[in-house]
Amino acid sequence: MDLTISFIFISLINSFTFMFAMTNLLLFPTHLINKIIIYIYIACCQIFFFLQFGQNIIPFTIGGTILIIAASNGHLILNSLFALLGYLLAIFINYILISFLNLFGFTVSDLYSNNYYLITFVIVYAVITCIASRFLGKYLRILYAQHKIIFSKEILALLISEVIACTTIFAFNIIQGEKEGYPTEIVYFNMILFGAFFVITFIIFFFCLRIMYKNQEFQFLKQQKQSLEEYVKKIEDLYQNTRIFKHDYMNILSTMQYYIDDDDIDNLKVFFRTKILPSSQTLTNRDAIISRLSNIKVLELKGILYSKLISAMNQELNITLEIQEEINSISMDMLDLSTVVGCFMDNAIEAAKESEEKKLLILLINNEESVTIVISNSSPEVDIKLDAIYDKDVTYKEGHSGLGLYSANKILDKYNNIIHSTNYNYNIFTQTLEICSLYDTKEGDST
């Protein structure tokens, strides 16, 4: 293998490594065609410019790759941030391997002087980097999907500033190291420096993630409290309406008696249609649905159902709510339960709104062994593959990320006391949750 072929082969492997490192960590993965474009771009930079400019092409290579990733979907800032984290991970692994070789007397000069050693190193480096970035990226996406983290502008600004600073320092040290011929002391210094920056970056990231999760949990509880307050007010209004109706009941009977005594059937019919029916309808329909929530003593479940039912009513859906027996407790973490039920209700409402029938059915069944929640809705005719709807990034709704059902499924996977089934027949989509009374999570910790 001559020098030119060796250089091209090594450049192609390195391009593959950096492409995977920068795309594996993306919270919103890019399509295969974009990965191919990124790979071609990095390979062109390596093959056509590296010999002339050396490591000075790093800013140009990283900048172009970030632009391609940013243009691939609507998540420009988050994907750019995690692409840079992928690059930092790749460089950190590179210096760990080089430092390890230096311990055994192999320097960077030794690697570049022997094609066999260099090619072996590049292949090992590629395998380790791809595996590490793959697992880390999967973990980050699961973490993001489960907690539905919303990054504030302040947190994003902090993370991006820190990562850009790290990347700049990394690139500067790599360029200077090349000029000095990568002596052992510089390799060790860079490994310690890069390691410190890399660890600090991820400590900051997870610390921010924890703060954002706690903040979202607080906001969720605040929203639940507001929903419960609205529910209590609705019940009070319903009670007042009932008292008013009872107060008018005798007057209504007296008026009916007057028409009956006069044998005035025509006016009696008019009075019944114009006065009695509208009055009775004020005690049914919406109020009757809301009043049934009184059978739910689990405040978190009551709150999330109330808020979603009000949303469904405002969209004029045909709602049926049935609650068999009082529900006093559910063997599931309340935040997890509210997240899953909220996700299922959101999907049901959106699908029902787009259908002709506009039907939404919620059924809660309580017995000694379990509580069963059934959420069913009419749906537009669509070719749904039930075995794929819980996969990440799979959605049948335009403009949606496909993370909702994926996140709900990940939450349900934690529990060994929940039986979850999904059915779609004759344009009716049904989610069923049977939550058995005794539980612990699959990891063995109860919440």
Residue in 191, 161, 160, 198 with CA at minimum distance from that of residue 177: 191
Binning the chain into helix, strand and coil, the percentages to the nearest 5 are 70, 10, 20
Contact status, residue 92 vs residue 195, Cβ threshold 8 Å: yes
Buried b / exposed e over 349-366, threshold 16 CB at 10 Å, is bebbbebeebbbbbbbeb
For residues 161 and 171, what is the distance between their CA atoms, to the nearest angstrom?
15
Range in 178-187, 330-339, 409-418 the model is least confident about: 178-187
Q: What is the pLDDT of residues 36-47, one digit of tens each?
A: 998 998 888 888
pLDDT number for residue 145: 66
Whether the CB-CB separation of 312 and 350 falls below 8 Å is answered with no
Q: What is the DSSP letter of 31?
A: P
Question: In the chain, how many domains are there?
Answer: 2
Cα–Cα distance, 263 to 281 (Å, whole number): 27
Please report the pLDDT score of residue 433 as a whole number: 92
Q: What is the mean pLDDT of residues 395-402?
A: 46
Amino acid 262: pLDDT? 77
pLDDT at 180 over 70: no
Decide if 236 is inside a domain: no
Q: Are residue 210 and residue 322 in the same domain, yes or no?
A: no
Residue 312 and residue 210 share a domain: no
Residues 84, 201, single domain; the answer is: yes
Bigger pLDDT: 300 or 180?
Answer: 300
Is residue 233 in a domain? no
Domain match, 309 and 415 both: yes
Q: What are the pLDDT digits (tens) for 238-254?
A: 556 555 555 566 666 67
The answer on pLDDT for 178 being more than 70 is no
Rounded mean pLDDT of 81-96? Answer: 83
Same domain, 214 and 299: no
Give the number of other CB atoms < 10 A from CB of residue 47: 15
**Which one is predicted more confidently, 397 or 231?**
231
Residue 113, classified by CB atoms within 10 Å of its CB into exposed (0-12), middle (13-18) or buried (19+), is exposed
Tell me whether residue 253 is in a domain. no
Sort 198 into a burial class: Cβ within 10 Å, 0-12 / 13-18 / 19+: buried
Question: What is the C-alpha separation between 233 and 230, in angstroms, rounded?
Answer: 5
> Band of the pLDDT at 440, cuts 50, 70, 90?
very low
CA distance 206 to 212: 10
pLDDT on residue 447: 39
Residue 78 has pLDDT above 70, yes or no: yes
Spatial separation of the C-alpha atoms in residues 190 and 184, rounded to whole Å: 10
Confidence band, pLDDT 50/70/90 cuts, at residue 76? confident
Q: Which of 166-170, 301-305, 395-399, 436-440 has the lowest mean pLDDT?
A: 395-399
Q: Which residue, 178, 194, 219, sits at the end of a domain?
A: 219
191 and 332 belong to one structural domain: no
**Euclidean distance between CA atoms 173 and 160, whole angstroms:** 20
pTM reported for the whole predicted model:
0.51
Q: Mean pLDDT across the stretch 177-205?
A: 69
If phi > 0 it is left, if psi is from -120 to 50 it is alpha, else beta; for residue 382 that is: beta
How far, rounded to the nearest angstrom, does the alpha carbon of residue 178 sit from its chain's CA centroid? Answer: 42
If one counts every other C-beta atom within 10 angstroms of the C-beta of residue 57, the result is 18
Phi and psi torsions of 376, nearest 5°: -130, 145
Confidence bin at 91 (pLDDT 50/70/90): confident
Is residue 284 scored above 90 in pLDDT? no
Out of 168, 191, 219, a domain closes at: 219
Does residue 208 sit in the same domain as residue 99? yes
Looking at residue 67, its pLDDT comes to 84
Which residue range forms the structural domain that includes residue 384? 295-447
Residue 232 lies in a domain: no
User: Measured between alpha carbons, how far is 67 from 65 in angstroms, rounded to an integer?
Assistant: 5
Question: Mean pLDDT throughout 172-194?
Answer: 66
pLDDT value at 428 more than 50: yes
CATH number at residue 439: 3.30.565.10
Domain assignment of residue 254, yes or no = no
Say whether both 171 and 310 belong to one domain.
no
Residues 143-170 have a mean pLDDT of 68
Of 203, 219, 235, which closes a domain? 219
pLDDT at 396: 46
Least confident of 205-209, 219-223, 396-400: 396-400
Q: What is the per-residue pLDDT for 439?
A: 45
Q: Is residue 256 part of a domain?
A: no
Band of residue 432 on the pLDDT scale cut at 50, 70, 90: very high
pLDDT of 446 higher than 50: no
User: DSSP secondary-structure letter at 439?
Assistant: -
Looking at 168-172, 302-306, 371-375, which range is the least confident one? 168-172
Q: For position 230, what pLDDT does the model report? A: 66
Flag whether 166 is in a domain.
yes
- How far CA 209 is from CA of 151, 307, 330, 402, in Å, comes to 8, 27, 29, 21
Q: Does the residue 110 lie in any domain? A: yes
pLDDT band at 386 (very low <50, low <70, confident <90, very high): low
Element (H, E) at 72: helix 58-72
Q: Could you give the CA distance from residue 166 to residue 159 in angstroms, rounded to a whole number?
A: 11
- Does one domain contain both 215 and 348? no
On whether the CB atoms of residues 111 and 117 are closer than 8 A, the answer is yes
Cα 444 versus chain centre, distance: 24
d(CA 160, CA 208): 12
What's residue 22's pLDDT? 87
Looking at 183-197, 285-299, 324-338, which range is the least confident one? 183-197
- With 0-12 CB in 10 A as exposed, 13-18 as middle and 19+ as buried, what is 154? exposed
434-443: average pLDDT: 65
In this predicted model, what pLDDT tens digit does every residue of 111-155 receive, in sequence order? Answer: 777 778 888 888 998 999 999 989 888 887 777 766 555 666 666
Cα-trace Rg, the chain: 31
pLDDT band at 102 (very low <50, low <70, confident <90, very high): confident
Contact 81, 156 (CB under 8 A): yes
Average pLDDT of the residues of the chain: 76
